[in-house]
Structure 1
Amino acid sequence: MKSLWMVAASLLFASMGVCVKLASEALPASEIAFYRAFISLLLIAVIMRLSGAQFATPHALTHLKRGVSGAISLILYFQAIALLPLPTAVTLNYTSPLFMAAWLGFTVSGELSRPIALALALGFAGVVLVLQPTLGSEQWVGGLCGLSSGLIATMAYLSVRDLGRLGEPEWRTVLYFSLCSSVFGAAWALIDGGFHLPDLRTCALLLGVGVFGAAAQLCMTAAYKGGRTLVSASLAYTTVAFSTLYGVLLWNDVPSAAVWLGMVLIVASGVLAMLNPPPAKL
């Protein structure tokens, strides 16, 4: 089942999140996003060159839509990771299946079904519980970044689905996403105070961000291309489990009872949404 590629992508994304969290101690999120995208761009370009793959594409506009939405979502996600505990940031980012289900519900059937409406209510309650325990401004800024990244990622994921249906190979999809993210990340970093010279430890972490990110993108693209969109999106929730495990092992960051409940509600709401898709093949 090709949707299972998403489980591999989830483990890789969680590993990338660990590197982002550690690198954020020395660099701003915009700069980390640039390095993540630029390293991936170089890796993918070299592999494509050696394998003789074609760089040109007849679907430039779809790639641009996927690249721009993905780049903005990526930077917001990294900002959330920098401000919040890793499991919390990941959980908020993975509200994207909820937004996707709501969007598909409106566009396919013209209205939300009762299960989707219930899923959205559960998801909202979960978000409140995840953010409620600490009401500091930094928590809410990080929370808004995480939710915004999830919302904007919906457009990126739907574009990945469209590119798969158009027959675009995974390598080329990831290449153009990395190119757009490099441009946006560099521009954001320059506006945010310019680039900094990283030390050796930070360089190693940035390399991990780029390698894990590129591998995760390839697995995710394969999942959305070969599997069903909503099934792949629901399996993305395994990133929450992997990230929580990392948080406990590396930072002894055990979520409180309220946060655990909120995370469970968000995951349950996503699963409910995935089990009740709109009446059309996705």
Structure 2
Amino acid sequence: MMGRVLGTKKLLGWLAVFCSTFFFYFATVVIRLAEGEVDIDVSYFAFFRFILGFIVVSIIMLISRQPVRPRRYHFLLGRMLANTAAVYCFYKAASLGSVAEANILNMTYPLFVACASWFLFKSQRDWVVAALVALAFVGVWLVLNPGGDFSVNGQSIWGLASGMLAAAAIIYLNLCRIDHDSNTILFVLFGLGSIVMYTFFHNYIFWPNGKEFYYLMLCGAPGVIGQYLITFGFRFVTAVEGSVISSSRIMLAALLGPIIIGEPSLALLGWCGGFCIFVANVGLAMRKK
């Protein structure tokens, strides 16, 4: 019976992480849709996501009468700083080029998580998982470089930076989960994240009109929902498992990009890369540790 309960929680964790990919992808779609409609810098989109999340988590904790119980402050601060920087770099990459490429570059973080997990967590030194993550990274490379003419540009730098920072945020999230509940983690993340974003980008933040508020909310709400789902999901999955499950966002971006915002479809090698990622995700989900 206990094993069945644990299996159900594991499945819920996988499902929550997978659903978060839909919301994170849609947030970047809104950034592109807002171009030409409103004049909003990506830093404002990121700030609004954090301030909206802080309001939501504060209301939830107030209604449930749940106090904030921070313990290991350095883990919470590390999670907040890494996640805040990753969100900004991710949104910046989406604004400079294709949404699909921004999501693909952001999803390089499973490789960085796997490498870090190998050194930090002895229990996760699993060669099968390492092989699956390697396969997923090969898939990412094929999707990103189908013509063999990969070049480093502004979007690539911002996208890869978001991937590395997201890896650090995921590692810190797993460490935070040991001593903290989801609401405490999110309260610190959203609250201090808002302060950090306002401190560095206050010149781009203003009181929005109706249309601007519409796009800010349309981008911020999915980001907050995705943050809740991934925080909940990582309570029941390892950093490596959750990261590779999240990489399904690559296929989501490739499939929906041409339909929603008219981006070019993937080439043949790109689809081969997507298949590699899919196989890695399925293999990891079936892997029992």
Give the TM-score taking structure 1 as reference length.
0.82
Q: CA RMSD in A?
A: 3.3
C-alpha distance in 2, partners of 1:132/1:80? 21
Matched, 1:234 2:250: no
State whether structure 2 residue 131 is matched by structure 1 residue 115: yes
**Structure 2 CA distance, aligned partners of 1:237 and 1:22?**
23
How far apart in 2 are the matches of 1:265 and 1:7? 17
Q: Kindly report structure 1 stretches of 4+ aligned residues shifted beyond 4 Å.
A: 111-114, 116-121, 130-135, 268-275
1:174 corresponds, among 186, 202, 225, to: 186
Residue ranges of structure 1 left out of the alignment (5+ in a row) = none
The CA distance in 1 between the partners of 2:71 and 2:84, in whole Å, is: 21
| Contact 2:93–2:156 (Cα < 8 Å) also in 1 | yes
For residue 189 of structure 1, what is the amino acid of its counterpart?
Answer: F
What is the SS of the residue equivalent to 2:234? helix
Deviation at residue 245 of structure 1 after TM alignment? 3.6
Which has the larger displacement, 97-106 or 82-91? Answer: 97-106
After superposition, residues 112-191 of structure 1 pair within 5 angstroms as 115=131, 119=135, 122=138, 125-126=141-142, 129=145, 140-166=153-179, 168-190=180-202
Residue-pair matches, total:
273
Indicate yes or no: 2:68 matched with 1:58: no
Q: CA deviation at 1:184?
A: 2.2
Q: Provide the residue aligned with 2:26 in structure 1.
A: 15
Asked if the contact 2:16/2:233 (under 8 Å) is kept, the reply is yes
Shift in alpha-carbon separation, 1:16–1:147, aligned structure 2, 3 A: same
The 1:134–1:202 alpha-carbon spacing in structure 2 relative to 1, beyond 3 Å, is: farther
Do 1:164 and 1:226's aligned partners in 2 also have CA atoms closer than 8 Å? no
Q: Secondary structure at the match of 2:235?
A: helix
* 1:87 match: 100
- Are the equivalent residues in 2 in contact too, given 1:40–1:214 (CA < 8 A)? yes
**Where does the alignment leave 5 or more consecutive residues of structure 2 unmatched?**
1-10
* CA deviation after TM superposition for structure 1 residue 209, in Å: 2.1
Residue aligning to 1:220? 230
Conserved? CA contact 1:88–1:130, under 8 Å: no
In structure 2, relative to structure 1, the CA distance for the partners of 1:128 and 1:211 (3 Å cut) is: closer
What is the deviation of 1:132? Answer: 6.3
Report deviation, 1:93. Answer: 0.2
C-alpha distance in 2, partners of 1:188/1:266? Answer: 39
Out of 188, 204, 225, which is 1:194 matched to?
204
Q: Distance in 1 between matches of 2:64 and 2:157?
A: 41
Determine the C-alpha separation between the residues in 1 that align with 2:237 and 2:181. Answer: 14
1:176 Cα deviation (Å)?
1.2
Cα 1:186–1:269 change in 2 (3 A) is: farther
Residue of 254, 258, 261 corresponding to 2:264: 254
What displacement does 1:91 show? 1.0
Residue of structure 2 aligned with 1:207, choices 217, 229, 234: 217
Distance change >3 Å, CA 269–CA 85, structure 1 → 2: farther
2:198 is paired with a residue whose SS is helix
